[in-house]
Amino acid sequence: MKLLVAMPCLNEAANIAEVIGRVPTSIEGVSDITILVIDDGSTDNTSEIAIENGAIVIKHRGNRGVGSAFHTAVNFAIESSYDIMVNIDGDGQFNPADISKLISPIINSDADFVSASRFIDKAYTPKMPYVKLFGNHMMSHLVSSLCGQKFYDVSCGFRAYSRETLLQINLHGAFTYTQETFIDLASKRLCIVEIPVEVKYFKERTSRVAKSISKYAVNTFMIITRIYRDYYPFKFFGGISLFFLLIGIGFGLLFFYNFMLTRKFTGFLFAGFISAFCMNTSMIFGIAAISMDMLVRIRVNQERTLYSLKKTLKKGNHDV
């Protein structure tokens, strides 16, 4: 099996050499290990140091975001016929020695996608500000509820993908990709496994993704909302329709209850207007739920076509 270790980096000149040097040179069941550094618009000499230490480098001409760096790695892995891809940050937060532990379920055909987890084992939970820890738990709870499967850490950037998973994955977010991956792969019934790992937490380090917690939360929520809308449109629009329907029924009952008592429409006309508005809105979203659910078949067929095209790809030009 051929293994690609992909490292998305932004200004990691101080750490990249050490991280590359700690990547295992041999793993049981793996015949070839290649290190790929995706330089996402660094202004330091990250690329030069990575090349000096034996890595292949793809350099983005500008900072596109972690999600775009991940897309670049996936395309390279598919076009170069790698059997497994591991995605690991280039800042030294994760221990490259854990790569063998991460890919083991894939080699043994026990999983399609393996994600490192900082929270599944409380002994490995890093010491981080409570607001970040709470945010991670809430995001994992949200994604778990959408996928119908319990996940403990959907934001960790240390992951392993089988070739079949790389061929089927279809993401759109440039800002980040971590939570979207779970929803996409769970909807395709791929086997997802979490492996506990120990992580270093750098208090003084500013995250390249979550520079602002509020901005990160909003952007991530928008990505999750869009993918849930696209993959589960009947639930998405049907839920909105049901929400307005219940409000409409509530105000409608209030309106008619007043009429039965007073035999007059005056005094509670607002309830009638609100009820009518909500019932009409509910009907619109109900129609949207049925219509968009029909379009899911088109999307599924398009993804099948894309899957077939990816399987026939030959190694191409990686200058981006």
Pick 226 or 157 by higher pLDDT: 157
Rounded percentage of the chain residues whose pLDDT exceeds 90: 50
CB 113 within 8 A of CB 191: yes
**Average pLDDT for 44-66:** 92
What gap in Å lies between CA 145 and CA 253, rounded to an integer?
Answer: 33
| Region class of 96: left (phi > 0), else alpha (psi between -120 and 50), else beta | alpha
Q: Hey, where are the domains in the chain? A: 2-231, 233-311
Kindly state which CATH superfamily the domain 2-231 is placed in: Spore Coat Polysaccharide Biosynthesis Protein SpsA; Chain A (3.90.550.10)
What gap in Å lies between CA 155 and CA 243, rounded to an integer?
Answer: 30
Integer distance in angstroms from the first to the last C-alpha of the chain? 27
**Average pLDDT for 162-179:** 79
Which DSSP string do the residues of 213-265 spell out, in sequence order?
HHHHHHHHHHHHHHHHHHH-HHHHHHHHHHHHHHHHHHHHHHHHHHHHHHS--
pLDDT of 266 reads: 75
Burial 123-138 (b: 16+ CB within 10 A, else e): eebeebeeebeebbee
**Average pLDDT for 259-272:** 84
In terms of average pLDDT, the best of 131-135, 173-177, 290-294 is 290-294
Predicted model pTM:
0.76
CB 118 within 8 A of CB 156: yes
Identify the band that residue 295 occupies on the pLDDT scale cut at 50, 70 and 90: confident
Tell whether the model's pLDDT for residue 221 goes beyond 80. Answer: no
Cβ partners under 8 Å of residue 280, min gap 6: none
pLDDT in tens, 22-40: 999 999 999 999 999 999 9
Tell whether the model's pLDDT for residue 317 goes beyond 80. Answer: no
